[in-house]
Amino acid sequence: MSTGQLIVPVCLADLEANAYASLPKNALDYYRSGANDMQTLRDNQDAFERIRLRPRILRDVSKVSTETTLLGHTVRTPICFSPTAMQRMAHDEGEKATARAAAKAKTCMILSSWSTTTAEDTIKAGKDVPVVPESDSSALPLYWFQLYVYHDRAAAERLIRRVEKAGYKALVITVDTPFLGRRLADVRNVFKLPNHLTMANFETKESNITMANVLEKTQTTQQKESSLAAYVVSQIDPTLSWKDIAWVRSITNLPIVVKGVLTAEDAKAACELGCEGILVSNHGGRQLDGVLATIDALPEVVHVANEYSKKQNRPIEVYLDGGIRKGTDVLKALALGAKAVFLGRPVLYGLAHNGEEGVSLMLELLQKELELSMALAGCCSTADLGPHNVQFGPYGSPYHPAHQSRASKL
Amino acid sequence: MSTGQLIVPVCLADLEANAYASLPKNALDYYRSGANDMQTLRDNQDAFERIRLRPRILRDVSKVSTETTLLGHTVRTPICFSPTAMQRMAHDEGEKATARAAAKAKTCMILSSWSTTTAEDTIKAGKDVPVVPESDSSALPLYWFQLYVYHDRAAAERLIRRVEKAGYKALVITVDTPFLGRRLADVRNVFKLPNHLTMANFETKESNITMANVLEKTQTTQQKESSLAAYVVSQIDPTLSWKDIAWVRSITNLPIVVKGVLTAEDAKAACELGCEGILVSNHGGRQLDGVLATIDALPEVVHVANEYSKKQNRPIEVYLDGGIRKGTDVLKALALGAKAVFLGRPVLYGLAHNGEEGVSLMLELLQKELELSMALAGCCSTADLGPHNVQFGPYGSPYHPAHQSRASKL
Amino acid sequence: MSTGQLIVPVCLADLEANAYASLPKNALDYYRSGANDMQTLRDNQDAFERIRLRPRILRDVSKVSTETTLLGHTVRTPICFSPTAMQRMAHDEGEKATARAAAKAKTCMILSSWSTTTAEDTIKAGKDVPVVPESDSSALPLYWFQLYVYHDRAAAERLIRRVEKAGYKALVITVDTPFLGRRLADVRNVFKLPNHLTMANFETKESNITMANVLEKTQTTQQKESSLAAYVVSQIDPTLSWKDIAWVRSITNLPIVVKGVLTAEDAKAACELGCEGILVSNHGGRQLDGVLATIDALPEVVHVANEYSKKQNRPIEVYLDGGIRKGTDVLKALALGAKAVFLGRPVLYGLAHNGEEGVSLMLELLQKELELSMALAGCCSTADLGPHNVQFGPYGSPYHPAHQSRASKL
Amino acid sequence: MSTGQLIVPVCLADLEANAYASLPKNALDYYRSGANDMQTLRDNQDAFERIRLRPRILRDVSKVSTETTLLGHTVRTPICFSPTAMQRMAHDEGEKATARAAAKAKTCMILSSWSTTTAEDTIKAGKDVPVVPESDSSALPLYWFQLYVYHDRAAAERLIRRVEKAGYKALVITVDTPFLGRRLADVRNVFKLPNHLTMANFETKESNITMANVLEKTQTTQQKESSLAAYVVSQIDPTLSWKDIAWVRSITNLPIVVKGVLTAEDAKAACELGCEGILVSNHGGRQLDGVLATIDALPEVVHVANEYSKKQNRPIEVYLDGGIRKGTDVLKALALGAKAVFLGRPVLYGLAHNGEEGVSLMLELLQKELELSMALAGCCSTADLGPHNVQFGPYGSPYHPAHQSRASKL
Ligand SMILES: Cc1cc2nc3c(=O)[nH]c(=O)nc-3n(C[C@H](O)[C@H](O)[C@H](O)COP(=O)(O)O)c2cc1C
Ligand SMILES: Cc1cc2nc3c(=O)[nH]c(=O)nc-3n(C[C@H](O)[C@H](O)[C@H](O)COP(=O)(O)O)c2cc1C
Ligand SMILES: Cc1cc2nc3c(=O)[nH]c(=O)nc-3n(C[C@H](O)[C@H](O)[C@H](O)COP(=O)(O)O)c2cc1C
Ligand SMILES: Cc1cc2nc3c(=O)[nH]c(=O)nc-3n(C[C@H](O)[C@H](O)[C@H](O)COP(=O)(O)O)c2cc1C
């Protein structure tokens, strides 16, 4: 724990600065890094800055509601939590603290397969938070489970049964990680999970490979690098394809969200397979460096989802994560068609700040920014937001994303 | 008052540098900040730099006149003063000094609702300046009043009566501030007005809420932030909508200027409601961060105003503020259709320099730059300026703004 | 003379660096400054960098000739010297040294009206250089005179007679200087010509206003600024218009080059008036800041000149100055239709380096770069160069400038 | 040898940093420099960064093969070695070490005409590496020879006979070097080959001009500059044109690759002449500064080659070098139609690191990055890659390069 000077946070960047000053190097590097040159990591934020807002004036904005629904469940805000692995490196309460903050905010948390708390313990922590019913809203906390599909399909199925039973309401299948992206700092650090922590959903007494022993068990001759990268090689199934999604579909009634779509082409495939949701994501710039920024990819995916919604006469929801740090980022994503946005690193920095309270503070700061942004843009509800609120650059840039859509040419 | 080294100002940037070196932090931060990341604050100036001038040569430019009319009144220059709150933090004479400088230059000053001098005292200071009649010009000083509409409509009406009586010639209704933008430095400073100053137009003995007591009166439990933000929450009416503009229209004969329009869509609404003027403004980047730079928004608003002028057979004037720091900025705005431009921060930095004389010096420097720019661009009067004088970028960029106008598609 | 460390120059940037380290501040600031924020000064060079070359291979480039003609005279290189005032501030031999370097290189020098050597003495210095006849070339030195038109037309006519008699072969009328651009460093320095130097073409015993007395004679009340700006106000005629060009045309047989054209519109006027040449120039970014970079303006002017050449069945030549520092800059300008390019500041830095030898060294470095660039681009002569050699930006940018020409829409 | 701190390399940038810290200035400057301002050197890498990847998900990527064929020979990877002169300045084993690393990787090495090891010794070092046959692959090492055509055509022919006999499988004729580009650091250093090294393919006892004596023999009067530039002037034939390529074609059966093509126009000429391959190259930014980045030039060349392949019913291969430093750079080039990419400087930095092992390490790092990038992009083989995997910039940019192809307009 470094002794860097901490500041009173008034925005998410402050929480990030504090985390940089306080987290141990091993954990900080793991959390903050993107793959290789981290071009996509930067572009995720830069792409939001390139978009200009077109605010509307003189509308009654005395009441701004951010309430929305996710796959039929009402939540209080479209700002939700992405799955991030190993939250207990940031704060001892880790995933439990996050679950409680999500409960209090009545938002949606996606738990990572690689949590350092079991799926059961995490959701229990959230459910134990007393939910005060409110007259003006039916919003409730919501938990989804993020699935990495392992070589061992029987184990995958067992895990699905566990999360169904525990009360998770959707499976978020991460599809951008057949192998782990190369994060140079982790390679240099020979990153591994601290000894007192485990991949809680998998590391039973019987498990052969753990984050602690993976390097020894798998890499006798090679140069030691990131233990997580080695773990992924040994455990995750890189043959995963659309037919496996069909298999998951066949064994569970939980709705399926595909996490990691960046093109109209793949959005089309997800729709045809009957997925309920698409999470536009580049894994926070941690997998393939140089891919599209998520906000740049969003319009074409939304375009496809809308077309299939009509054709198949069912709702298909599109979400986005990557680079969300300000209320106006949320607003831009919603305006371009995202039903909700998800936060990765900010949750970790909130945890590092002060566990559950830190996460709540982080969310409150961002929620306030979103509400203020909506009011100043002349929008009282998420339904008010649309492509007319944004423009892809300064004077002369297109603002109807459909304008240059490629989807129509597929 | 810091003891930073001051320089002899030869341009507005020098006055700004001097203000940075001399103003107390609380006031300086309030004056200079934009909202959040201050992206729009920077973009307001950057957008001017992106525009290239297309100068015309070999025209007789021995006599350059910048005289123009604003809602029927002749002023000597299209460089006018935006409303800025609390000018007495910059110099003890505050709004009175500004009013006198405006009188001497025979330009237009918009007084802020939140002045630290009453509307009556301010205009009196201006009117007391002896105006030397000139043979070649009928230009005279001009005062407009900027209105924030409070919850208490009776109070709003009383204020309108006062400014009518005092001699203000137009109401400038600011419509981009249903809530105060989040300016991080003010939040960190827990900004408030120094004790010896008041919001002079409102804080009578009877007033319940003042800048001094607003935090105590309104925020017992919450974290303390900017007093002004709290004041706005407690006083300003966020339900304000076009029907309230209609109401103001119904109770006064003063012409109405809507301040804070950034889109063709809202320009259209203002024209349909019969407003006499539209001030394209993003509040100096202090409200919604990430909106269009004002010079990027100007063409579409001008396009709409011109169409409605024709349709409704009456003049509708368009003005601009935000980022004007150089003579060529003024020239670009006029070329793109602004009837006049308004200055926010430069007036405050002029005051900080030396009260009335500082404001006069600031205006003189900018006026000289404008006249020289016009001469070098081959233009003798504001009527000579048009879209043919500018180009939105280097080789190959469009220069007829109408070219890509969206207004026509509304 | 500062004692900064000098380097052995291998490119023009080195000569500039050396001049910065050695010239007195008053002169250096006068030479290097652009107007106001110096945006155009930078853009003149940046615009060249935005252009990409499209080199052709496998052509016999064993013999590269840069020879060309200017208004019928053969010169050895299209790299010529722009008129720059007061060269004796850089080196005691000043304009004479430049004239000799031009003679040796058999190129064209334009002498400034504001030379610190008389028109007669300058050309004599050049003519005294023995010209060795060469079998393979009829190239000869060439001298043109740059004219500022003074209030006093009789004086203007007397000056024209003198330069005709002295042997100058064209009049280059500078049309972008009805007033002097505002160069902030000169304002701060209260720039004036050192006492031992004079504006040699004008300051006779009888002359009333000189650079030495202009401030006293003209600015009793005002703040003192640049003496040259005051001099221009008192002497130069800002009523100058196309009819005055017609007047010059009527009193002399010298061909006329208009210096300071930046738009197709003005190119058209120059052609209609019968001018023989057009020098695309923004006065090295010293007049109106924010205008088009000269290389960005060139294509539209060339387009107009070519059309009028055909229509009027006579050659109309287009030249360019501004930002030329590298062989590839020259190549790009020639490819885009300039018959020759002119150098302003590099000549002064050459003089500062070592008088005549410094100018020769500067020209030799640039000439070598041009020849090498032409060979590497697959071009053996200036006639080989064309728009196909350049592209206005990276992948996907237009390369046929005519593509987006505005001239055709005039 | 400087004593800068070296780091454990995990990417090519680390190897470059180490080389900067360890190589002697004379060699380092020669290796790293680009011509003049080094604009193209930077643009080669920047242009890759401007391109965004469009990854495909949910494809079985458990087996990724990078195997490909080059002119009919199978190699294990499309990452090959460009010819770079004088490798023994980086490591005493020089070209032999590179040849061995190429052999172990079963890739293609192009030997430079200006090697500091003879063509015969180099290929022998490679062939001596025992090649372990593999069941799943017929990949084998491959050697090509890069030819500079000298004035003395008999010598050129003798050299061709030697390399045919030694086992080189193609002639790569470098066509962008009729003269040497001006690399300022080499000029300042008066660069020359260290005394113990020679241009091994040419400097026999009989040879009149060597790198050691060229300055003395050729430049009695002139300023001393780079010896290599002088050497080129004295030895290389700048009359080289397409008819000389036809001559080479007529005297050998080796396939011919033209190295240094950057435009569709020249690609057309190469195809018409019957060349088997085109290497899109700007000589690593060392020849004409300001030309197209190679990745920006690639699409138009590929377009032409594909059309001629169809028309002439024979394969014409296109390769690229310049700026390749990351796995995603390789992927982008392949997606845009390159059959293989070649590395210049990275090989030298690998040599500087640790001779043969350093080159192998460099290649292994890049190969791993390529394989991982392909898997994360959803591509299992080079055949899977196509223009649909890339986009020339962020939201709204074209991604089908053919879209704006100029080739079709030729
Ligand atoms: C430290 C860290 C761990 C992550 N772990 C997972 C994970 O286990 N599963 C997953 O699907 N995504 C994971 N992600 C990706 C996030 O779900 C999300 O896509 C990304 O963080 C969003 O970008 P942001 O951090 O800019 O908000 C992780 C991201 C980070 C930063
Ligand atoms: C310190 C400060 C106070 C302001 N107060 C007001 C105000 O009371 N009412 C208002 O309508 N606008 C206010 N504005 C916005 C200005 O009227 C104007 O839109 C803006 O300052 C123009 O941008 P500029 O500062 O770049 O010139 C204020 C701006 C500043 C900088
Ligand atoms: C110090 C200086 C003095 C100049 N004096 C004159 C002048 O007397 N007459 C004129 O027409 N242009 C004058 N110019 C403009 C030059 O002719 C030319 O347009 C400009 O310098 C070209 O740009 P460059 O300096 O980037 O090459 C002057 C420029 C400089 C830098
Ligand atoms: C030090 C050095 C020496 C080179 N020597 C040769 C050469 O002898 N023949 C040749 O055709 N290209 C030569 N090149 C160019 C390379 O073949 C190749 O085009 C270039 O290096 C690719 O760019 P990169 O260095 O960014 O990978 C040389 C390049 C360098 C950096």
What is the pLDDT, as a whole number, of residue A222? Answer: 54
Which of A409, A393, A344, A341 has its CA nearest to residue A33? A344
Residue C98 predicted with pLDDT over 60: yes
Q: What is the mean pLDDT of residues A340-352?
A: 98
Residue C274 predicted with pLDDT over 60: yes
Dist CA D281 CA D294 (whole Å) = 6
Q: Which residues on C lie below 8 Å from D399 (Cβ)?
A: none
- The three-point CA angle C22-C25-C31 to 5° equals 85
Across chain C, what does the average pLDDT equal?
93
What is the pLDDT, as a whole number, of residue D223? Answer: 63
Dist CA D361 CA D91 (whole Å) = 15
Q: Do A290 and D377 touch (CB under 8 A)?
A: no
| Tens digits of residue pLDDT in A144-196 | 999 999 999 999 999 999 999 999 999 999 999 999 999 999 999 999 999 99
| Tens digits of residue pLDDT in C365-390 | 999 999 999 999 999 999 999 999 99
Ligand nearest to the CA of residue C287, numbered in listed order: 3
Dist CA D112 CA D122 (whole Å) = 10
Q: At C201, is the pLDDT very low, low, confident or very high (cuts 50, 70, 90)?
A: very high
Option in C8, C53, C57 nearest D260 (CB): C57
**Chain B closest-CA separation from residue C292 CA (Å):** 6
Residue B101 predicted with pLDDT over 70: yes
Residue B206 predicted with pLDDT over 80: no
DSSP per-residue string spanning B35-82: STT-HHHHHHHHHHHHPEE----SS--S--B--EEETTEEES-SEEE-
Cβ(C208)–Cβ(C184) under 8 Å? no
Residue C401 predicted with pLDDT over 90: no
Dist CA B21 CA C363 (whole Å) = 46
Q: Tell me which of C118 and D213 has the higher pLDDT.
A: C118
Dist CA A338 CA A80 (whole Å) = 12
Dist CA D266 CA D301 (whole Å) = 8
Break chain D down into helix, strand, coil percent, rounded to 5.
45, 15, 40
Length of chain C: 410
Cβ(A375)–Cβ(A65) under 8 Å? no
* H helix or E strand, kind and range, residue D178: none
Dist CA D274 CA A39 (whole Å) = 41
Cite the beta strand spans of C138-245 per DSSP E. Answer: 142-147, 171-174
Residue linked to tokens 């409704």: B312
Cβ(C144)–Cβ(C110) under 8 Å? yes
HSE-CB at C87 with a 13 A cutoff on CA atoms is: 34
Residue B400 predicted with pLDDT over 50: no
What is the pLDDT, as a whole number, of residue B222? Answer: 54
Residue C30 predicted with pLDDT over 70: yes
| Tens digits of residue pLDDT in D367-403 | 999 999 999 999 999 999 999 999 988 887 655 443 3
What is the pLDDT, as a whole number, of residue A149? Answer: 93
Cβ(D38)–Cβ(D56) under 8 Å? no
What is the pLDDT, as a whole number, of residue D74? Answer: 98
Q: What is the mean pLDDT of residues C201-230?
A: 76
Dist CA C396 CA C383 (whole Å) = 27
Instruction: Please give the model's pTM, rounded to 2 decimal places.
Output: 0.96
B303 is annotated as an active-site residue: no
What is the pLDDT, as a whole number, of residue D394? Answer: 87
Dist CA A191 CA A228 (whole Å) = 7
Q: Do C326 and D262 touch (CB under 8 A)?
A: no
Q: At C208, is the pLDDT very low, low, confident or very high (cuts 50, 70, 90)?
A: confident
Dist CA D341 CA D326 (whole Å) = 11
Identify the burial level of C405 via C-beta atoms within 10 angstroms of its C-beta, where 0-12 means exposed, 13-18 middle and 19 or more buried.
middle
DSSP per-residue string spanning A193-226: --TT---TTT--TT-S--TTTHHHHH-SSSPP--
For the stretch B65-69, contacts whose Cβ atoms lie closer than 8 Å and that sit 24 or more positions apart, written own/partner, are B65/B380, B65/B381, B65/B382, B66/B367, B66/B370, B66/B371, B66/B374, B66/B381, B66/B382, B67/B137, B67/B139, B67/B381, B67/B382, B68/B339, B68/B340, B68/B382
| Tens digits of residue pLDDT in C5-29 | 899 999 999 999 999 999 999 999 9
Cβ(A348)–Cβ(A97) under 8 Å? no
Inter-chain CB pairs, A–B, below 8 Å: 107
Length of chain A: 410
Residue C396 predicted with pLDDT over 90: no
The token pair that represents C327 in the structure block: 């062989």
Dist CA B233 CA B235 (whole Å) = 6
C261 touches chain B (CB under 8 A): yes
Residue C279 predicted with pLDDT over 70: yes
Q: What is the mean pLDDT of residues B101-108?
A: 98
Across chain B, what does the average pLDDT equal?
93
Q: At C330, is the pLDDT very low, low, confident or very high (cuts 50, 70, 90)?
A: very high
Residue closest via CA to ligand 4's atom 4 equals: D84
Q: Do D394 and A292 touch (CB under 8 A)?
A: yes
Q: Do A54 and B262 touch (CB under 8 A)?
A: yes
The token pair that represents C15 in the structure block: 């000569």
Residue closest via CA to ligand 2's atom 30 equals: B84
- C76-85, D2-11, D219-228 — most confident range: C76-85
C132 touches chain D (CB under 8 A): no
Which of B401, B324, B396 has its CA nearest to residue B47? B324
What is the pLDDT, as a whole number, of residue C134? Answer: 84
- The response to whether residue D183 sits with its C-beta less than 6 Å from ligand 4 reads no
Q: What is the mean pLDDT of residues C91-108?
A: 98
Residue B404 predicted with pLDDT over 80: no
Residue B142 predicted with pLDDT over 90: yes
Query: Minimum mean pLDDT among B294-298, B308-312, C302-306, D135-139: which range?
Result: D135-139
What is the pLDDT, as a whole number, of residue C214? Answer: 83
User: Which residues fall within 8 angstroms of residue A364, CB to CB, at 6 or more apart?
Assistant: A105
Cβ(B28)–Cβ(B369) under 8 Å? no
Cβ(D85)–Cβ(D112) under 8 Å? yes
Which of A244, A82, A230 has its CA nearest to residue A160? A244
Ligand nearest to the CA of residue A329, numbered in listed order: 1
Best residue for ligand 4 mutational test, from D82, D87, D180, D325 (most atoms within 8 Å of Cβ): D82
Q: Tell me which of B329 and B401 has the higher pLDDT.
A: B329
Dist CA C288 CA B51 (whole Å) = 13
> What phi and psi values does residue A321 have, to the nearest 5 degrees?
-135, 165
Cβ(C281)–Cβ(C343) under 8 Å? no
Number of DSSP helices (H) and strands (E) in chain A, helices first: 14, 12
The residues with which C74 forms a beta bridge, in sequence order, are C69
Answer positive or negative: Cα dihedral of D142, D148, D154, D155: negative
> What phi and psi values does residue C148 have, to the nearest 5 degrees?
-100, 130
**Chain B closest-CA separation from residue C218 CA (Å):** 17
The token pair that represents B93 in the structure block: 């004479």
Amino acid identity at A262 = L
Cβ(B108)–Cβ(B75) under 8 Å? yes
Pocket of ligand 1 (CB under 6 A): A 30-31, 44, 82-85, 112, 114, 146, 174, 259, 281, 283-284, 286, 321-324, 343-345, 348
First to last CA, chain B: 52
Helix, strand or coil, per DSSP, at residue B231: helix
Pairing of strands C52-53, C68-70: unpaired
- The response to whether residue B283 sits with its C-beta less than 6 Å from ligand 2 reads yes
Q: At A19, is the pLDDT very low, low, confident or very high (cuts 50, 70, 90)?
A: very high
Cβ(C49)–Cβ(C392) under 8 Å? no
Residue C35 predicted with pLDDT over 80: yes
DSSP per-residue string spanning A347-363: HHHHHHHHHHHHHHHHH
Cβ(D150)–Cβ(D201) under 8 Å? no
User: Which residues fall within 8 angstroms of residue C325, CB to CB, at 6 or more apart?
Assistant: C12, C13, C45, C346
What is the pLDDT, as a whole number, of residue D409? Answer: 37
| Tens digits of residue pLDDT in D282-334 | 999 999 999 999 999 999 999 999 999 999 999 999 999 999 999 999 999 99
Query: Minimum mean pLDDT among A22-26, A39-43, B339-343, C212-216: which range?
Result: C212-216
**Chain C closest-CA separation from residue B45 CA (Å):** 12
- Please identify, by atom number, the ligand 4 atom nearest to the C-alpha of residue D110: 17
Which of D44, D20, D10 has its CA nearest to residue D297? D44
| Tens digits of residue pLDDT in B106-126 | 999 999 999 999 999 999 999
Q: Tell me which of B404 and A150 has the higher pLDDT.
A: A150
Across chain D, what does the average pLDDT equal?
93
First to last CA, chain A: 52
Residue B220 predicted with pLDDT over 60: no
Using the mean position of ligand 3's atoms as its centre, give its distance from the Cα of residue C272 in Å.
26
Dist CA B258 CA B175 (whole Å) = 7
Residue A408 predicted with pLDDT over 50: no
Residue linked to tokens 């080695």: A230
pLDDT over 70 percentage in chain B: 93
Q: Tell me which of A5 and A360 has the higher pLDDT.
A: A360
Option in D58, D391, D396 nearest A245 (CB): D58
| Tens digits of residue pLDDT in D19-56 | 999 999 999 999 999 999 999 999 999 999 999 999 99
* H helix or E strand, kind and range, residue B256: strand B256-261
The residues with which B73 forms a beta bridge, in sequence order, are B70
Q: At C206, is the pLDDT very low, low, confident or very high (cuts 50, 70, 90)?
A: low
